[in-house]
Amino acid sequence: MSSFVIEAAGLSRSFGSTRALAGVDLSVRTGESLAIMGASGSGKTTLLHCLAGITRPDAGTVGFVSGAGRVEVTGLGERERSRLRREAFGFVFQQGLLIPELTAVENVALALMLNGMPRARAEEHGRGWLAALGLAGMEDRRIGQLSGGQAQRVAIARAQVTGASVVFADEPTGALDSATSADVMRALLDSTTGQGRTLILVTHDAEVAGRCSRIVDMRDGRIVGERVSA
């Protein structure tokens, strides 16, 4: 059995008088695909953001374990967390948050260039990832010239290109029809758990969640159930 890559304990977070997280313990294994489900407002996004070091919890700890050892994410300052997110994590959101003025390959290469890679090499890597996600021939199109599913694959390529060991996705198929959603999920799983990496995603969609190896259900800021898929 593989080891944990994310270990969270006792996570709480309030926004004013709203208790978004009310004591969550959650550990995620390397190579696992975990779906976080629950009604709107149940705390899914807040949990994802705490695990990924985007939001700091009021209480509790998040650890990230890699070959280099264990990093206490919740103990890091803003700059160190930002660096960890850039280097070790990848992100896919509902609307891919791609830059419309840039082409597909430029959007992907940007993630590498932010980590200091020269443009030519970054674009070469970017083309490789786009091809792996079935977008060969579309590298030089702007985002507006792609379908929703194609744009979401560009977002997946961008999340993977830096070699992220954990990919966090918040409603990655939320804006897609069910056939496209199935294609995007396949691409997302192939490029993460298919390569020994870890996927943590938030979804409303039971079909999307059912493709993941484990599902946790949230209600009122707590994990209230857990299922393991076949």
What residues line the site for Mg ion (CB under 5 A)?
A: 44-45
57 Cβ contact partners less than 8 Å away, ≥ 6 residues apart = 11, 12, 13, 21, 50, 74
In whole angstroms, the minimum distance from the beta carbon of 65 to ligand ADP comes to: 25
Please give the order of strands across the beta sheet that includes 69-72: 18-29, 4-15, 59-66, 69-72
CA neighbor of 192 nearest in space, from 30, 36, 65, 84: 30
CB of 167 to ligand ADP, least distance (A): 18
- Residue 57 engages ligand ADP in binding (rule: CB under 6 A): no
Q: Which stretch in 40-48, 104-112, 128-136, 208-216 sits in contact with ligand ADP by CB under 6 A?
A: 40-48
> Residue 61: which residues within 8 A CB-CB, separation 6 or more?
7, 8, 9, 10, 11, 72, 74, 75
15 binds, among Mg ion, ligand ADP, none (CB under 5 to 8 A by kind): ligand ADP
Residue from 5, 6, 8, 20 touching ligand ADP (CB under 6 A): that is 20
Q: Does 152 bind ligand ADP (CB under 6 A)?
A: no
Please identify which residue in 33, 42, 103, 193 interacts with ligand ADP, judged by CB under 6 A.
Answer: 42
Please identify which residue in 2, 3, 10, 18 interacts with ligand ADP, judged by CB under 6 A.
18
Distance between first and last Cα of the chain: 16
Interaction partner, residue 103 (Mg ion, ligand ADP, none; CB < 5-8 Å by kind): none
Is residue 43 close enough to count as binding ligand ADP by CB under 6 A?
yes
- Considering beta carbons, is residue 139 or 170 the nearer one to Mg ion? 170
* 199 beta partners: 33, 167
SS (H, E, C) 122-169: HHHHHHHHHHHCCCCCCCCCEHHHCCHHHHHHHHHHHHHCCCCCEEEE
18 binds, options Mg ion, ligand ADP, none, Cβ within 5 to 8 A by partner type: ligand ADP
Please identify, using beta-carbon distances, which residue of 30 and 45 lies nearer to Mg ion: 45
What DSSP assignment string belongs to 63-80? EEEETTEEEEGGGS-HHH
How far apart are the C-alpha atoms of 165 and 159, rounded to whole Å?
10
Task: Please report whether residue 172 would count as binding ligand ADP according to CB under 6 A.
Answer: no
Rounded least distance, CB 8 to Mg ion, Å: 17
Structure tokens at 21: 């997280």
Which residues of this chain interact with ligand ADP, rule CB under 6 A? 15, 18, 20, 38, 40-46
